[in-house]
Amino acid sequence: MSTLPRIAPFTAIVLALAACQPAQPPAPPVPTTELLAVDTPPPSYPEELLCDNVGGQVVLQLSIGTDGRPASVEVFRGSGVAALDKAALEGVRGWRFKPATRDGQPLTSKLQVPVNFHPPQVRPQSCFALDEQRRRSGG
Q: Average pLDDT for residues 57-61, to the nearest whole number? A: 98
Q: Which of 16-20, 43-47, 84-88, 116-120 has the lowest mean pLDDT?
A: 16-20
Alpha carbon 81 to its chain's center:
26
130 close to 46: Cβ distance less than 8 angstroms: no
Q: Which CATH number fits the domain that encloses residue 105? A: 3.30.2420.10
Full residue range of the structural domain in which residue 102 is found = 30-137
For the chain, the maximum distance between any two Cα atoms, rounded to a whole number of angstroms, is: 118
Residue 37 within any structural domain of the chain: yes
Residue 19 within any structural domain of the chain: no
Q: How many domains does the structure of the chain reveal?
A: 1
Residue 32 amino acid letter: T
Residue 130 within any structural domain of the chain: yes
Please tell me the pTM assigned to this model: 0.73
Compute the distance between CA of residue 65 and CA of residue 45 in angstroms, rounded to an integer.
26
Residue 93 within any structural domain of the chain: yes
Strand 36-39 relative to strand 96-98, pairing: antiparallel
Q: Which of 17-26, 82-91, 123-132 has the lowest mean pLDDT?
A: 17-26
Beta bridge partners of 101: 33, 106
